[in-house]
């Protein structure tokens, strides 16, 4: 938490900031940890999960244990996925202003307008992107959707798993699920959500690369280092220049970024 400061800090090192850019700590460790754990577990879950649906390798050895191994890896990766989701959900309420839940579910009118502007940008109705220090509102809403289907994937996955292990604890959590839909439909949903996540993966890769080339704020590296390189305009929009402009922002988050006021003022 001590690193929670914005950009007027001097950076030592062999590199220099581009003119007009400020280095700002955006993605905290739990955010980055959850992000990359999700990526890793999703890749593993997809490969093993697709194999479980359609065992494309037919083994012939006498001691082969291909499906057994695939299922074991799938289960381990599933728990990692659940852990990553839980960490990220916890950070909705403990994280900095860019990690918080209000960045995801667009409850404020400005966020909706912001999302509309971004849609306009994607539809070529606007010349410029809509850079934000954290997520733009459209990205936030998309991630809300993704977290939603990740929860669906977890619930259907646990219900399918409990069909095998008959655990009392899991039964308390997901015992109601097979009463709503037959196990075959749970499998179908579980399978189609995998495609939805791949769908998102393509979209996410494209959007990140587009944003990186348009906004040049280091949004790809930012998910590794935690820092982004933002413009004065970005800071102004985020923290406001008019007196009292900060009042609409979460107080705690503003307090944790003391340098921001200095920069924007």
Asked if 22 contacts 232 with a C-beta cutoff of 8 angstroms, the reply is yes
Smaller CB distance to other proteins: residue 33 or 46? 46
**Residue 29: exposed, middle, or buried by beta-carbon count in 10 A (0-12, 13-18, 19+)?**
exposed
Can you tell me the distance from the alpha carbon of 146 to that of 193, in angstroms, rounded to the nearest whole number? 10
What size, in residues, is the chain? Answer: 265
23 to 52: interface string for other proteins, x by CB under 8 A: ------------------------------
Query: Which listed residue (88, 97, 187, 228) binds other proteins by CB under 8 A?
Result: 187
DSSP, residue by residue, 211-239? HHHHH-S-HHHHHHHSEEEEEHHHHHHHH
Smaller CB distance to other proteins: residue 28 or 114? 114
69 to 88: interface string for other proteins, x by CB under 8 A: -x------------------
Among 17, 1, 2, 7, smallest CA distance to 259 is for 7
125 to 144: interface string for other proteins, x by CB under 8 A: -xxxxxx-------------
Q: Is 203 in the site for other proteins (CB under 8 A)?
A: yes
Query: Which listed residue (79, 171, 182, 258) binds other proteins by CB under 8 A?
Result: 182
With contacts defined by CB under 8 A, name the span among 17-25, 106-114, 220-228, 254-262 that binds other proteins: 106-114
Query: Which listed residue (1, 58, 180, 251) binds other proteins by CB under 8 A?
Result: 58
Q: Is 195 in the site for other proteins (CB under 8 A)?
A: yes
Asked if 218 contacts 227 with a C-beta cutoff of 8 angstroms, the reply is yes
Calculate ∠ Cα 215-217-221, nearest 5°: 125
Can you tell me the distance from the alpha carbon of 79 to that of 37, in angstroms, rounded to the nearest whole number? 11
Q: Is 67 in the site for other proteins (CB under 8 A)?
A: yes
Q: Give the contacts of 227 (CB within 8 A, at least 6 positions apart).
A: 23, 24, 25, 26, 218, 221
Where does this chain bind other proteins (CB under 8 A)? 53-55, 57-61, 64-68, 70, 110, 113-114, 117, 122, 124, 126-131, 163-164, 179, 182-185, 187-188, 191-192, 194-195, 198-199, 202-203, 206, 210, 213-214, 231, 233-234, 237
């Amino acid at each position: 938490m001590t690193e929670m400061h914005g950009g007027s800090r001097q950076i030592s090192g062999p590199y220099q900031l581009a003119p007009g850019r400020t280095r700002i700590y955006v993605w905290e460790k739990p955010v980055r940890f959850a992000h990359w754990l999700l990526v890793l577990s999703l890749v593993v879950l997809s490969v093993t999960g697709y194999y479980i649906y359609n065992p494309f390798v037919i083994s012939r050895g006498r001691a082969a244990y291909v499906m057994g191994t695939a299922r074991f890896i799938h289960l381990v990766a599933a728990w990692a996925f659940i852990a990553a989701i839980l960490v990220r959900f916890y950070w909705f309420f403990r994280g900095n202003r860019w990690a918080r839940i209000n960045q995801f579910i667009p409850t404020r009118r400005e966020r909706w307008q912001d999302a509309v502007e971004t849609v306009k940008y994607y539809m070529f109705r606007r010349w410029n992107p809509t850079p934000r220090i954290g997520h733009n509102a459209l990205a936030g809403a998309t991630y809300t959707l993704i977290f939603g289907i990740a929860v669906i994937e977890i619930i259907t996955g646990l219900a399918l798993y409990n069909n095998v292990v008959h655990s009392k604890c899991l039964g308390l959590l997901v015992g109601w699920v097979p009463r709503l839909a037959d196990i075959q439909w749970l499998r179908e949903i579980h399978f189609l959500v995998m495609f939805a996540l791949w769908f998102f993966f393509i979209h996410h890769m494209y959007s990140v690369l587009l944003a990186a080339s348009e906004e040049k704020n280091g949004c790809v590296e930012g998910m590794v280092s935690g820092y982004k390189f933002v413009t004065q305009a970005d800071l102004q929009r985020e923290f406001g220049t008019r007196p009292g402009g900060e009042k609409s922002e979460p107080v705690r988050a503003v307090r944790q970024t003391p340098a921001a006021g200095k920069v924007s003022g």
